[in-house]
Amino acid sequence: MADKKSDWKETTWVSPSNIALIKYWGKHGEQLPNNPSLSLTLKNSVTKTKLRYRRLDEPVPDSEDLKVAYWFDGERNEAFERKVANYLRRLLPEMPYLTSLELEFQSTNTFPHSTGIASSASSMSAITLCLVDMEKKMGLRKPPTQDLSRRASHLARLGSGSACRSVYGGWVTWGEDGLLPDSSDRYASPLEQDIPEQWQNLRDAILIVNSDRKKVSSSAGHGLMSNHPFAEGRYRQARKHLNCMMLALQNGDEKTFVEVVESEALSLHGLLMTSSQDGLLLQPESLQIINAVRAFREKTGLMVCFTLDAGPNVHLLYRDEDKEMVQQFIQEELLPFCENKQWIDDEIGEGPYKEEIK
Ligand code: DP6
């Protein structure tokens, strides 16, 4: 039967990336983290995904044949489409009806192409939010889901661990820990703690040192933790850091905040560097930026600190009230170390949202 345009329905979600202060590095089982993590959800670095969906006349005979297409920036992206199809197969125990649907995703990112930033957190959380919304609209889940964000977080985790944190805005934790009420390895939760004023409006300047794609994929990197000689010490350190961070937030202790954030970033890279030759991701310019940030903090006494993802780019965290001084410092002293003087001006954000159809 020929396609009827009226059969298609759609939903569009905008979902942000996040930057971890306490890093998730090492996992087991079905995307379960080996230690709790804590992140800030960003505002400007987002993925926008439209899902078009319709029922098939007959379910596909085999899960290998799921009907899915993925378009990125207006072009079919077959590599990512395979990743999405694998993800959907992993969701089948939770969403068995996916075999009876045809799905078409159309995505765009706000981060410039030339920065090499490809966030699985924003893309996987946007896809999942669309699916959970579709499930609700079509009445496919019985009994209906009460807490859509929790369901989306739980399912997004199966696509990419860090994506489960992007479902919420602000400060977010993921992973079971005695200090965090209602915490779970299966889904993230907003941090239930009053954040002192000085950290409520944090900004994140993402300094692009190199835009090449990562040499180590996150999944391969997590895998290298299984036989890593430092693994147990690292998981203990992450829990201790979380403890210190919670106390620092309670007491407004900026010194501890900075120490924990920077130590987490360097620990991640210590683990990377000692797990494989490809794990040496920091570049001379990354270290020059780190040294300049520390010297600037020493000189001005401002609360500025750096963190890192699994790559050479440096995230500079600072307070909104210090924006003018810090951005002048970025322009004058840090951009010379950035590739084509590129950086992304981001800040803490309120989390994903649905774009209503006009
Ligand atoms: C260094 O979430 O990308 O950014 O679960 O394999 O998709 P997968 O890994 P991913 O790992 C993120 C690691 C990190 C730290 C963090 O975000 O906590």
The domain spanning residue 67 has which CATH number?
3.30.230.10
Please report which residue ranges of the chain form alpha helices under DSSP H: 78-91, 120-137, 148-159, 218-224, 231-251, 254-273, 284-300, 323-329
Q: Find the range with the poorest average confidence among 80-89, 138-147, 230-239.
A: 138-147
Q: What is the pLDDT of residue 216?
A: 78
pLDDT at 356: 84
- Tell whether 57 and 175 lie within a shared domain: yes
Residue 352 included in any domain: no
For 95, other C-beta atoms within 10 Å of its C-beta total 18
| Domain tally, the chain | 2
CA of 310 to the centre of ligand 1 (A): 8
**How many angstroms separate the alpha carbon of residue 160 from the centre of ligand 1?**
7
Residue 220, pLDDT above cutoff 90: no
How many Å lie between the centroid of ligand 1 and the Cα of residue 218?
6
Distance 16 CA to ligand 1 centre (A): 14
**Cβ 120 under 6 angstroms from ligand 1:** yes
Closest residue (by CA) to atom 6 of ligand 1?
219
The protein residue whose alpha carbon is closest to atom 9 in ligand 1 is 218
Give the helix ranges, DSSP H, for 138-181.
148-159
> Does residue 114 register a pLDDT over 80?
no
Spatial CA neighbour of 39 closest among 128, 157, 154, 121? 121
Residue 273 has pLDDT above 90, yes or no: yes
Q: How many residues does the chain have?
A: 358
Euclidean distance between CA atoms 96 and 93, whole angstroms: 6
pLDDT at residue number 269: 96
33-74 pLDDT, tens digit each: 999 999 999 999 999 999 999 999 999 999 999 999 999 999
Q: In this structure, what is the dihedral angle of CA atoms 193, 322, 169, 34, given to the nearest 10 degrees?
A: -70
pLDDT exceeds cutoff 80 at 191 = yes
Take atom 8 of ligand 1 and give the residue whose Cα is closest. 160
pLDDT of 297 higher than 90: yes
- The least confident of 1-10, 205-214, 342-351 is 1-10
Shared domain check, 256 and 224: yes
Domain, as residue range, for 142? 5-192
CA distance 207 to 217: 20
Q: What is the mean pLDDT of the chain?
A: 94
DSSP 8-state symbol, 187: S
Q: Is 348 in contact with 170 (CB distance < 8 Å)?
A: yes
More confident residue, 295 or 6: 295
- Nearest residue (by CA) to ligand 1, atom 5, is 161
Q: Is residue 48 domain-shared with residue 188, that is, in the same domain?
A: yes
Final residue before a domain boundary, out of 140, 169, 192: 192
- Judge if the beta carbon of residue 162 lies within 6 A of ligand 1: yes
Tell whether 176 and 213 lie within a shared domain. no
3-state secondary structure of 48: strand
Encoded tokens for 265 = 């970033």
State both tokens at 81.
């489409």
Is the confidence at residue 209, as pLDDT, over 80?
yes
Q: Are residues 70 and 208 in the same domain?
A: no
Residues 185 and 231 in one domain: no
Sheet holding 305-308, edge to edge: 305-308, 314-319, 202-207, 343-347
For every residue of 174-222, DSSP letters joined together read ES--TTSTT--SSSEEE--SPPPGGGTTEEEEEE-S--SPPSS-HHHHH
The residue whose two tokens read 């300047």 is 205
Q: Looking at the structure, do residues 255 and 305 belong to the same domain, yes or no?
A: yes
Residues 246 and 295 in one domain: yes
Q: Which atom of ligand 1 is nearest to the CA of 18?
A: 17
Residues 61, 179, single domain; the answer is yes
- The CB density around residue 111, as the number of other CB atoms within 10 Å, is 21
Residue 349: pLDDT above 60? yes
When pLDDT is averaged across residues 278-285 and rounded to a whole number, the result is 95
Answer yes or no: do 215 and 150 share one domain: no
Q: Is residue 355 part of a domain?
A: no
**Residue 358 pLDDT greater than 80, yes or no:** no
Q: Which residue has the tokens 């941090």?
A: 191
Q: Give the pLDDT band (50/70/90) at residue 31.
A: very high
Mean pLDDT for 94-121 is 89
pLDDT at 117 (0 to 100): 76
356 part of a folded domain:
no
| Amino acid symbol at 35 | N
Residue 164 alpha carbon to ligand 1 centre in Å = 10
What is the Cα–Cα distance from 226 to 249, expressed in whole angstroms?
32
Q: Is the dihedral of CA 214, 335, 296, 201 positive or negative?
A: negative
The rounded Å distance from CA 244 to ligand 1 centre is 22
Specify the ligand 1 atom closest to the Cα of 159. 7
Q: Is residue 103 part of a domain?
A: yes
Q: What is the pLDDT of residue 182?
A: 87
Determine whether the shortest distance from the Cβ of 315 to ligand 1 is under 6 A: no
329-349 mean pLDDT: 97
CA of 55 to the centre of ligand 1 (A): 34
> Which CATH number characterizes residue 337's domain?
3.30.70.890
Q: Please tell me whether residues 145 and 30 are part of one structural domain.
A: yes
Going by pLDDT thresholds of 50, 70 and 90, the confidence category of residue 2 is: low
Q: What are the distances in angstroms from CA 238 to CA 33, 34, 178, 269, 357? A: 12, 10, 13, 14, 43
310 lines ligand 1 (CB under 6 A): yes
Domain termination site, one of 192, 227, 253 = 192
Rounded distance between C-alpha atoms, residue 56 and residue 171, angstroms: 40
